[in-house]
Chain A
Amino acid sequence: MHLAYPAVLSALLFCTGLYGVLARRNAILVLMSVELMLNAVNLNLVAFDVWLSKAAEEALHSGQALTLFTIAIAAAEIGIGLAIVLAVHRNRGTADIDKLRDTAEGHETDGPDSDAPAPETAGEKAEATA
């Protein structure tokens, strides 16, 4: 079999997962997309391992071993991720990613330089730093 088939399939799956991560609003759907990306990588690993185990007579089977590890880690990740999403949902009442904007600029209006200061204070600051 041509190596290009699994490789291309994995690339396309990966980019599909990527789209999902970037475009989905619900955090759980984002986690699903992450799973897609991880699986794309797994496919790649398996395909190359099969190729190399025959072509280069590589007996280590690193690709398959890593795939197993990835699956295990993915399972752990989905567990932790879901726990976080649930905690967020309990605290905020939502699991929508684009509503969790605590890091946005101007979130706290009484910060030291939260908004544009008055012109004269700007001049003073410029003098102070000069």
Chain B
Amino acid sequence: MSLAAAAAAGLPQALGFARAGGLGQGGAPIAADPGHGFLSPTGVEIAFLLVGLVTLGAAIVTVTTRQLVHAALWLVVTLGGLAVEYLLLTAEFIAWVQVLIYVGSVVVLLLFGLMLTKAPIGRSPDADSGNRWAALTVAVASAAALVWVVVDAFRTTWIDLDGAAAGSTEVTGKALFQNWVLPFEALSVLLLAALVGAIVLSRKAKATTTDRPGARTESGTPSAKEPR
């Protein structure tokens, strides 16, 4: 939690770096100028790199820690770090949506899930399955392949962060409600379907639990499941 707080505290600073770095650059074509090498990073890049390292580290802790609740909390750090990265990329609307939905609801939901499945508090030695070495191999191999490909393809590409923010609320809203209205509305149908699906699954679970005599008290309070 302390790291997440630090990340949140450093947010304006990082933004300031981004602005400063962005101001230092002129209009750039798609291909990077020769001047923009890896050896001469701009301020925004340094900030991105640092926040990225924190994010990645938190992600790795998330998938390796043996304390299940800690994993959820480290996930908060990761998602918050990603929100900062969005801000650094001038996509502010997405960043706030990220904070709102992921940090605000998804992680809470996951914590609910952990609690409802009676996840043990404290270290659980069997958090990882016997598959972890195969998983590690696959993950490292795919990471190597992806990094190699991405670096090989985009090592000289330069993002111009100057000028109007590419992801301000206005820009995003215009794009969303001018060009993406139909998918947006279709998405609402999907959300409705998900809602119905979640309710149906819960009801089925309730039907099976009525077999047990002790489950009657639970089934007596259906409103407890509604927030989901």
Q: Is chain B in direct contact with chain A in the complex (CB below 8 A)?
A: yes
Q: Which residues of A contact B195 (CB under 8 A)?
A: 76, 79
Q: Which DSSP category, helix, strand, loop or mixed, fits chain A's interface?
A: helix
Interface size on A, residues (CB 8 A): 77
B183 an interface residue at 8 Å Cβ cutoff?
yes
Q: Which DSSP category, helix, strand, loop or mixed, fits chain B's interface?
A: helix
Interface bits A102-130 vs B (CB < 8 Å: 1, else 0):
00000000000000000000000000000
B3 an interface residue at 8 Å Cβ cutoff?
no
Bound-complex Cα distance A13 to B102 (A):
16
Q: Which residues of A contact B20 (CB under 8 A)?
A: none
Bound-complex Cα distance A65 to B53 (A):
27
A15 with B139: in contact, given A2-B32, A25-B129 (CB under 8 Å)? yes
Interface bits B20-63 vs A (CB < 8 Å: 1, else 0):
01000000011010001010001011001100100110011011
Query: Is the beta-carbon distance between B68 and A28 smaller than 8 angstroms?
Result: yes
Q: Which residues of B contact A73 (CB under 8 A)?
A: 187, 190
Query: Is the beta-carbon distance between A49 and B154 smaller than 8 angstroms?
Result: no
One of A13, A23, A72, A83 near B191 (C-beta < 8 A): A72
Bound-complex Cα distance A32 to B108 (A):
12
Q: Which residues of A contact B121 (CB under 8 A)?
A: none
What's the nearest-Cβ distance from chain A to residue B123, in Å?
A: 13
Q: Which residues of A contact B89 (CB under 8 A)?
A: 1, 6, 46-47, 50
Query: Is the beta-carbon distance between A19 and B62 smaller than 8 angstroms?
Result: no
B216 an interface residue at 8 Å Cβ cutoff?
no
What's the nearest-Cβ distance from chain A to residue B120, in Å?
A: 10
Bound-complex Cα distance A87 to B131 (A):
25
A11 with B146: in contact, given A2-B45, A2-B159, A28-B119 (CB under 8 Å)? yes
Which residues of A does B touch, CB under 8 Å? 1-9, 11-29, 31-33, 35-36, 39, 42-43, 46-47, 49-51, 53-56, 59-62, 64-65, 67-69, 71-80, 82-87, 89-91, 95-98
- Could you list 16 further interchain pairs (A-B, Cβ under 8 angstroms) beyond the known A2-B158, A28-B68, A79-B195? A11-B150, A22-B139, A23-B63, A29-B71, A39-B82, A47-B89, A54-B162, A54-B163, A54-B166, A55-B159, A59-B175, A65-B175, A68-B176, A71-B101, A75-B101, A83-B205
Q: What are 12 A-B contacts defined by CB distance under 8 Å?
A: A3-B154, A3-B159, A5-B49, A19-B63, A19-B139, A22-B135, A28-B110, A55-B160, A71-B97, A73-B187, A86-B116, A90-B205
